[in-house]
Structure 1
Amino acid sequence: MPPPTALIADDEEHLRAHLRGKLARLWPELRIVAEAANGVEAAQAIAQYAPAVAFLDIKMPGLSGLEVAQGIETDTRVVFVTAFDQYALDAFEREAVDYLVKPVTDERLARSVERLRKALQESAPLPELARLLSQLTRGPARTEAGGGAAPLRWVRASRGNTTRHVPIQDVLYFQSDDKYVVVHTRDGEHLIRTPLAELMEGLDPHTFWQVHRSTIVNMEYVAGTRRDDTGRLFVRLRDSEAELPVSRAYVHRFRQM
């Protein structure tokens, strides 16, 4: 079998070098195929090299490690690297997702390497990240059991020089587009400046599902799903010609459809 490959993503070069050095000692057959200084570079490198493992710093410019994980399409196992945050660590433990706490110690990294080696050798199923990512992006104030403010009933969005209140039930899907989030409705597109992660906090999680790091879908308009020749999953919408890609982290939510 070819040697396993990995990506290291961290915005601090000395921390990348620190982890690279420890991996060289603890996992000498591992080949580092790419390093990234921000989330955008990490996402591009994962798509290009499809490494077996991605060590992702959670707090990076461009895209966070969580946002990078939301968009992974390859069979890449993710290890999150984070400064101490008890809420995040509890979430990682509950979902059995691997993580490293800065500063990374040899003992903790050795345990992670042992688990990764075993998973790769046994071709173990990839962990389902959707619930973990939802918990971490929503934060401790809002739980799956409810709580927090009532869901949004409308959003204030612009089209050209006109601003209007768009009822939330009229939204087919939200999609981030550079500086804006595009609100797709039955009668056209509107723009808002609210970041997608912040927007998700105000939406009813039973109706609006995140299917990609850049896309939130109103499930009331989902007509079905389709897989292309490569096995990639797409959501098909009523009242729209759009087919929206579903990233690996969220595919399992559609298995009953």
Structure 2
Amino acid sequence: MTATALIAEDEPLLAADLQASLARLWPGLRVVATVGDGASAVAQSLALRPDVLFLDIRMPGMSGLDAAEALAEDWPEHDGKFPLIVFVTAYDQYALAAFERAAVDYVLKPVQPERLAQTCARLEARLAQRSSSPTHDASLDDAHREQASAKTHPSTLDQLRALLHATSVDGSDRSSTPLRMIQASAGNTIAMVPVDDVLFFEAADKYVRVVTATREHLIRTPLRELQRQLDPQRFWQVHRGTIVRCDAIDSAERDESGRLTLALRGHPARICVSRLYAERFKGM
């Protein structure tokens, strides 16, 4: 069967080698774009809608995992053809353990033809199964197509959720002692902010906003690094750029399109929940 793919790899020689290997092993696969960073991978994937993504884990700026997460959040709700994802990584026992637990496919650098052939066979089987699903039946109306999409689309999303919840791909586990105090610099002053006072953390360019009921601070610690230091029972990630203290949430409201928005106690902010984390909010 014919299929399309996008390769995201910041080393041109490795990208060319992967493309050449795919051409030999999977003649029906057409590589529609090769990019060198995660942000371009997201933009080109949204524009070209490839069937398969080969994402290098470590790229400048946005990593392969970050790119996958961004795509999961930005992919059109009505399109059930979310790309199948293969992560490409140098050998890293922590990353491989996380991939195995999440049942996410991966290949190691340098890419070995035998291993890549196995991956191609799995991808072809999944795409064949997808093409025979009701999602692609032109006779269906939009409502029934969306219902069918909901049954097929979550498979890749479930894998991403599992990967995000597994050991982080750079080998760092969560801290055994949760963070108790945030030290936020402002000029010559360092504000000491108790973590218990924080309503939510939000990534903003090169900073992270630390928002309490009465004040807002900026820190330079990346959100993913900060997350490892927080108590996961109290602080929930609800978007790739937002972590909320769960007992500060007053309600979760779903709009007509199915998107969730959180209202907080004692603060006017409204927090959007991405589809990757929407499963947290279900009635008991």
Shared fold per TM-score greater than 0.5: yes
Larger displacement relative to structure 2 (112-121 or 239-248) = 239-248
Question: 1:47 and 2:46 equivalent?
Answer: yes
CA, structure 1 residues 170+116, in 2 after alignment: closer, same or farther (shift >3 Å)? same
**Which residue pairs with 2:88 in the alignment?**
81
Of 211, 219, 222, which residue of structure 2 is paired with 1:195? 222
Contact 1:138 1:200 in 2 (8 A): no
Q: Deviations over 1:163-209 (max 9, x none)?
A: 41122122222111111111122223210011112111110011112
Contact 2:95 2:168 in 1 (8 A): no
Q: How many residues align?
A: 252
For 1:218 and 1:69, the matched residues in 2 are separated by 25
Letter in 2 for 1:134: H
Of 122, 125, 145, which residue of structure 1 is paired with 2:129? 122
For 1:102 and 1:229, the matched residues in 2 are separated by 44
Contact 2:98 2:168 in 1 (8 A): no
Query: What does 1:1-16 align with in structure 2 at a 5 Å threshold?
Result: 3-16=2-15
**Which residue pairs with 1:58 in the alignment?**
57
The alignment-based identity, stated in percent, is: 50
The DSSP-based 3-state class of the residue aligned with 1:211 is: strand
Q: How much does 1:234 deviate?
A: 4.0
For 1:19 and 1:230, the matched residues in 2 are separated by 39
The DSSP-based 3-state class of the residue aligned with 2:279 is: helix
Contact 1:68 1:213 in 2 (8 A): no
Letter in 2 for 1:199: L
**Which residue pairs with 2:163 in the alignment?**
132
Q: How much does 1:32 deviate?
A: 2.3
For 1:26 and 1:141, the matched residues in 2 are separated by 35
Q: How much does 1:87 deviate?
A: 1.9
For 2:166 and 2:26, the matched residues in 1 are separated by 31
For 2:237 and 2:46, the matched residues in 1 are separated by 20
Q: Which runs of 5+ in 1 are unaligned?
A: none
For 1:10 and 1:163, the matched residues in 2 are separated by 40
Query: What does 1:208-223 align with in structure 2 at a 5 Å threshold?
Result: 208-223=235-250
The TM-score normalised by the length of structure 2 is: 0.78
Alpha-carbon RMSD = 2.6
Letter in 2 for 1:66: L
Q: Which runs of 5+ in 2 are unaligned?
A: 76-81, 131-151
For 1:242 and 1:255, the matched residues in 2 are separated by 21
Contact 1:159 1:189 in 2 (8 A): no
The DSSP-based 3-state class of the residue aligned with 1:137 is: coil
Q: Deviations over 1:207-229 (max 9, x none)?
A: 11223332222222233434455
The DSSP-based 3-state class of the residue aligned with 1:88 is: helix
Q: Deviations over 1:40-61 (max 9, x none)?
A: 2222223333332211111111
**Which residue pairs with 2:213 in the alignment?**
186
Contact 1:128 1:250 in 2 (8 A): no
Query: What does 1:87-236 align with in structure 2 at a 5 Å threshold?
Result: 87-123=94-130, 124=152, 125-126=155-156, 127-137=158-168, 140=171, 142=173, 148-158=175-185, 163-228=190-255, 230-236=257-263
Q: How much does 1:15 deviate?
A: 1.1
Larger Rg: 2
The TM-score normalised by the length of structure 1 is: 0.85
For 1:207 and 1:240, the matched residues in 2 are separated by 18
The DSSP-based 3-state class of the residue aligned with 1:203 is: coil
For 2:226 and 2:49, the matched residues in 1 are separated by 30
Q: How much does 1:80 deviate?
A: 0.7
The DSSP-based 3-state class of the residue aligned with 2:267 is: coil
Q: How much does 1:96 deviate?
A: 0.8
CA, structure 1 residues 234+43, in 2 after alignment: closer, same or farther (shift >3 Å)? farther
For 1:227 and 1:18, the matched residues in 2 are separated by 46
Q: How much does 1:232 deviate?
A: 4.2
The DSSP-based 3-state class of the residue aligned with 1:209 is: strand
